[in-house]
Chain A
Amino acid sequence: MTNPRFAALAFAAAIAFIAATMLIPNDYYFSAAYTVLQFVILATAWNVLGGYAGYVNFGSAAFFAVGAYSSVFLYKAVHPPLIVSIAVGTVVAGLLGMAVGYLTLRLRGVFFAIATLALAVVLYTFVVNWDYVGGARGAYILQPKDLPFGLKRYIHVLYMAMVLMTAAALVIARTIETSAIGRGLAAIRDDELAAECAGVPTLRLKILAATVSGSLMGMAGTTFPYYLSYVEPSAAFNLSYAVNTIAMPLIGGMTMWAGPLVGAVLLGTVQQVVQVTVSSEWNLLIVGVLLVVFVTLAPNGIVGWVARLRRKR
C-alpha cells in the first residue's frame, strides 16, 4: 500500500472511530482512551529513533513535558486555541530533539542514551524552579467554555484531537519507515560504520529521526494540561512515561510502525485495568517485569513473533 493511500485510510479510520465512539455514555471510556492514545503516540514517536535507528532515548518524559509545559506557558501568556498549542508544543519539542541530537548523536549510542537521561533531570529541575509556569506547586488550566462542532463535553474535544494526532503519528512513522530514509535508518541500526561507508549520511539522518521523534513526543504532551486542568512537574515528568515508551515498542515490535501501536494498546489497556483494580505501583512493577522478560526472551516483540510464524508456514 502506498503511503498516500495509507494516510487516507488512517484518517478515514480515525473519523469513523470517533463517530462510532462519541456516543459512549461512560465517561471513564474517554479518560482511558485518552491515556492509551497518548501512549500510542509516545511509543510510535520513540520508535522512530529507538526502533528504526537503534538509538535509545531514556528521556521521553522530557520531550513529553516540553510539550505539556509549552501549552502551560502559552496558556498563561496568550490563551491560544488548542490547535495553536498543539502546533507550538510540537515544534518546540522538535527543536529540542534536534539540539540534543546535534550535540550527542556524533557519539556512540550509549552516550546519547545517557544524555537523554540527563536531559530529563535537567529539564525537571528547570521547570521546578520556573515560577511562571507554576514551578513545583503546579499550574491550573481552565478548560474553555465554548466548544467547537457543537460538542457538549471538553473531554470529547480532547479525545477527537488525540485520535487525529494518533493517526498523524502512525502515518508519519510509516512514511519514514518505508522511505529511503527508513532504509538508511535501518542500515544505521544494523551497522553504522558500514552504513556510512555505503554513502548513508548517518549524522543527518539521526538528527532528522531525533527531531521527528522529539516533536511527536512533545505533540503527545500538548493536550495534557487541558486534560488534567492542573499540571505539576512530577505528573509531566512521571516515571511511567520513561518506562512505558520503551516497553511498548519493545513488546509490540520495534522494526514496524504497527509494533508500538500493538504494544501501546495491549500494555496500555492492561495498565488501565491493573491501576483500577490493584495499585499504580504494582502496575509499574508489572510493566518493568514485562520489559525485562520481553527484551531477554522475545526481542522482536509481538509483531516480530507473528512475522516469524507467517514465514514458517
Chain B
Amino acid sequence: MTPSPTLPQGGGRPLPAQGRGRLLAISGVTKRFGGFTALESVDLTVAPGERLGLIGPNGSGKSTLVNCIAGTLRHEAGTIAFKDRDIGRLPAFKRVHLGVARSFQIPRPFASMSVADNLRIPLLYGAGAPLTLNTQSATAEAMRILEQVGLAGKAHAMSGGLTQVDMRKLELARAIAAKPALLIADESMAGLSASEVDEILVLLLGMKEHGVAVIMIEHVMRAVMKFSERIAVLVAGRKIADGDPKAVVADRDVVKAYLGE
C-alpha cells in the first residue's frame, strides 16, 4: 500500500536516505513560547493513507503541533519532513501546495462567501489546482465535495450563519478541497451530539478511499477508537505513547495522564 515516494515540485529540501518512505516524518520538534515549552522533542511519523489518532489532555500541545506541521507556527528545533522534503522553512500556503491541509478547531469560514464559494478558494489555490480552473468545473467539483460531506443542500447559504456541525463539515470540506495527501482534523467533533459525531466520523473514514492520510485530534474516545489504525499520545508537550490503539489506551502512563494517580 505504500506508493513509492515521488519528489514533489515546489520547495523543501530533500532528506537523507534514512528518513524516506513516510508521508510525514517529524523528528525532535521543539516549540517554545517565551519561557513555556509547548512541544519537547516530539517524534511522529505518518504513512501514506494512514489513520492516526492524536490524543492528550488539554494544553498538551496538540494544537501547537498542528500549527507547526501546517506552518502557521515556526518550530525552534527538529525537522518536519513531508514527502521526503524538509518543509520547516516553507510558509503555510506552500505546504498546502505540497499536500498538507488542516481544519481549525474553532471554524473559520470565509463569512462573506456562500458555502460553495468557500470551497472555491482551496480549489483555486490548493494542491490540486491549476490556477486557470474555470468557473464551471470549479462549481462542479465544489458540489461534488459538498455531496461528500453532506452539505450539498446548503451550497448557496452564507457560510457565516451555519449550525455548529455544518460549520465543522465546511471546515473539513475546505480542507478536502485543497486535495491534500495529509488531512489534519483538529477537534472537529468537540461539543457535537452522538449522531453528529457519527456523521463526521463517516466523512473522515471515507478519506482513506482517496488515499488521504488523516491525523485526527480528538477527545471523543469512542470516535478515536473507531477511527484510528494507530494512536499517539501527547502529554505536557511530550509524546508518551505511540502504537496500537488498544495497547495505548491500556498503557499505564496514558491512563495516569488522563485520570491522575
Contacts and interface: CB of A to CB of B under 8 A. Distances in A.
Interface of A: 180, 183-184, 186-187, 189-191, 193-203, 255
B112 A198 contact: no
Interface in B29-59: none
A191 B110 contact: yes
A184 B124 CA distance: 9
Contact of A190 (B91, B92, B113, B174): B113
Interface residues of B, number: 31
Nearest to B132: A180
B108 A193 contact: yes
B108 A196 contact: no
Given A187-B110, A194-B174, A198-B125, 4 more contacts: A180-B125, A187-B121, A198-B122, A198-B177
B112 A196 contact: no
Contacts of A191: 108-111
Nearest to A203: B91
Given A183-B121, A187-B121, A200-B93, A194 B110 contact: yes
Which of A197, A200, A203 is most buried by chain B, counting CB atoms within 10 A of its CB?
A197
Contacts of B126: 198-199
Contacts of B124: 180, 183-184
Nearest to B180: A199
A109 to B, nearest CB: 16
B120 A183 contact: yes
B110 A202 contact: no
Contacts of B101: 197
B203 to A, nearest CB: 18
9 contacts: A180-B133, A186-B110, A187-B113, A190-B110, A196-B91, A198-B126, A199-B125, A199-B127, A201-B125
Contacts of B110: 186-187, 190-191, 194-195
A198 B72 contact: no
B102 interface: yes
A199 B129 contact: yes
B121 A189 contact: no
A278 B3 CA distance: 77
Interface string B123-147: 0111101010100000000000000
